Amino acid sequence: MSGTSGRPHEPEIPDPAPDGLLAELLGAPDRDRCPGARPVVAVSEQDPGAFIEEVQARCVAAPRLHRRGQHHGDWAELADPLAFFPHEPLPLLAKRWQDARPIVLHDVLSDEVMELVRTDTRLPALSSPGGLASWAAEREAHLSPDFSALDPEAAAPLTDARDVERVAFSWAGDDGPAVHDLWMKSQALSTHPEDASLRVRFSAGAEVEDDASRDLHRHRLVARLAERFVPELSALHRDGELRSLLGEWLRAKPLLTQAICYWNAPGGGALFHHDAFDEPAFGRQRGVLYAQLTGATAWLALSLEDLMARVREFIEPLTRAEVAELCGAPGDEAGVAALLGSDDRLRKELAAPGCGRLASIVNLGPQFTGFLADAGHGYVVSEGDVILLPNHGLGSTCMHSVFCASEEPAFSLSLAIRDTAGPGEGAGTRNRRFRRRTARGGGRMGGERGGRHRRRRGRPGP
CA 158 to chain centre: 26
What does the radius of gyration of the chain's CA atoms come to, in whole angstroms? 22
Q: What are phi and psi of 434, to 5 degrees?
A: -130, 130
pLDDT tens for residues 252-308? 899 999 999 999 999 999 999 999 988 776 777 899 999 999 999 999 999 999 999
Q: Is the peptide bond before 11 cis (omega within 30 degrees of 0)?
A: no
Amino acid present at 318: L
Among candidate residues 225, 230, 250, 254, the one with its CA nearest the CA of residue 416: 254
Q: Residues for the chain: how many in total?
A: 462
Helices (H), 165-259: 216-229, 231-237, 240-250
Which pLDDT score is estimated for 10? 55
- Spans of the chain, pLDDT less than 70: 1-11, 281, 421-462
How far apart (Å, rounded) are the C-alpha atoms in residues 407 and 426? 44
pLDDT tens for residues 15-46? 999 999 999 999 999 999 999 999 999 999 99
H/E segment holding residue 179: strand 179-188
Q: What are phi and psi of 450, to 5 degrees?
A: -60, 145
Among candidate residues 109, 95, 98, 107, the one with its CA nearest the CA of residue 33: 95
Instruction: Give 118-166 as a DSSP string.
Output: -GGGGHHHHTSTTHHHHHHHHTHHHHTTTEEEPPGGGSPPP-STTEEEE
Cα dist from 440 to 198, 242, 437, whole Å: 27, 22, 10
